[in-house]
């Protein structure tokens, strides 16, 4: 019953307000808008009005976020209006402080990560630089060693070339001397054997009938064979000398305390 009476009272109030607006000469659409506003204020208290206004601002804020790429300033303004209405200036400032603190921490973390990576790269480059310096030092030492070896080798080659040229000249001289010696030996052998018929003709081989003596023939044979056996005898003597030297150097007893 009470509810019906309250509804009846609201209807009567609306009728009276409509009559008053009509007397004031307001158009119907304006009247309807004013009525809606009055109804909203009558049926919704301050807390309700505040909540509705907050919802409206939140909707604007959400709409602005959707259009952030096209209207970033609207987003900032809507966000500021929303947080200032809900939390006040201090709340809005605290929100910004928290946001920028979080952003600063993220930037700090990212910067520290980049810094660590850069320091790691610098450390690697430093190690490469030290290794390069050491490599360069070793290469310079090797180059210096190779230059010394080259100079030594060049001297050795020059010495060998000089010795070879000297030996070539010696060979020429020796060939010349060998040919001269061969001619001398040939003439000496000719004279040596020429003495045999001279002895037979001018000696006492026939007059003293030494041809009957066996000893004379033995001496004559030895005389004729001696030049032929001379090379063999000399070869045997050099062979015996070589064997004796080899025995003394390698197999003969030695005093191990001589060189202490």
CA dihedral 28, 32, 38, 39 (to 10 degrees): 140
List, as own/partner pairs, every contact residues 227-233 make where C-beta atoms lie below 8 angstroms and the sequence separation is at least 24, other chains included. 227/189, 227/192, 227/193
Tell me the percentage of the chain whose pLDDT exceeds 90: 6
Report pLDDT for 20: 57
Lowest mean pLDDT among 12-21, 141-150, 224-233: 12-21
What does the pLDDT read at residue 3?
44
**Of 55 and 98, more confident:** 98
Q: Residues 20-38: pLDDT tens digits? A: 555 555 555 555 665 566 5
**Which pLDDT score is estimated for 7?**
44
DSSP letter, residue 210: G
- CA triple 227-231-235, angle to 5 deg: 155
Model pTM score: 0.33
What percent of the chain has pLDDT above 70? 72
pLDDT, tens digit, 9 for 90 and up, residues 90-126: 877 888 888 889 889 888 888 888 988 999 999 899 8
For residue 252, give both structure tokens: 């003969």
Residue 147: predicted pLDDT: 93
Report residue 60's pLDDT band, with 50, 70 and 90 as the boundaries: confident
Between the alpha carbon of residue 82 and those of residues 18, 58, 62, 75, 229, the distances in Å are 36, 6, 10, 10, 138
Cα three-residue angle 27-33-35, rounded to 5 degrees: 100
- Per-residue pLDDT band for 5 (boundaries 50, 70, 90) equals very low
Cα distance between residue 51 and residue 56, in whole Å: 9
49 and 41 in contact (C-beta within 8 Å)? yes
pLDDT band per the 50, 70, 90 thresholds, residue 40: low
Cα–Cα distance, 5 to 77 (Å, whole number): 47
Measuring CA to CA, which residue among 17, 55, 8 is closest to residue 36?
17
Handedness of CA 202, 206, 209, 212 (dihedral sign): positive
Confidence band, pLDDT 50/70/90 cuts, at residue 70? low
Cα gap 59→65, rounded to integer Å: 10
Is 211 within 8 Å of 217 (Cβ atoms)?
yes
Q: In this predicted model, what pLDDT tens digit does every residue of 217-249 receive, in sequence order?
A: 888 888 888 888 887 888 898 899 888 888 887
Higher pLDDT, 120 or 176: 120
**Within a 10 A sphere around the Cβ of 10, how many other Cβ atoms?**
13
The conformational region for residue 25 under phi > 0 = left, psi -120 to 50 = alpha, else beta, is left
Query: What pLDDT was estimated at residue 1?
Result: 42
- Average model confidence (pLDDT) for the chain? 76
């Amino acid at each position: 019953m009470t509810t019906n009476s309250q509804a009846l009272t609201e209807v009567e109030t609306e009728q009276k307000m409509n009559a008053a607006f009509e007397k004031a000469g307001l158009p119907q659409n304006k009247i309807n808008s004013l009525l809606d506003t009055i109804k909203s204020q009558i049926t919704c208290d301050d807390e309700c009005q505040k909540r509705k206004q907050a919802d409206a601002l939140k909707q604007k804020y959400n709409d602005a976020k959707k259009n952030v790429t096209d209207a970033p300033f609207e987003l900032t303004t809507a966000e500021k209006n929303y947080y200032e209405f809900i939390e006040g200036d201090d709340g809005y400032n605290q929100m910004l402080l928290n946001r920028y603190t979080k952003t600063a921490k993220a930037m700090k973390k990212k910067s520290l990560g980049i810094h660590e990576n850069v320091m790691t790269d610098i450390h690697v480059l430093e190690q490469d630089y030290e290794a390069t310096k050491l490599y360069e030092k070793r290469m310079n030492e090797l180059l210096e060693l190779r230059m010394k070896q080259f100079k030594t080798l060049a001297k050795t080659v020059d010495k060998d070339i000089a010795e070879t040229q000297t030996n070539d000249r010696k060979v020429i001289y020796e060939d010349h001397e060998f040919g001269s010696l061969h001619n001398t030996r040939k003439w000496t052998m000719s004279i040596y054997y020429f003495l045999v018929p001279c002895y037979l003709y001018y000696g006492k081989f026939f007059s003293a009938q030494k041809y009957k003596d066996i000893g004379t023939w033995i001496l004559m044979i030895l005389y004729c064979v001696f030049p032929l056996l001379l090379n063999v005898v000399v070869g045997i003597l050099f062979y015996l000398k070589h064997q004796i030297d080899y025995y003394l150097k390698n197999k003969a007893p030695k005093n191990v305390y001589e060189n202490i």
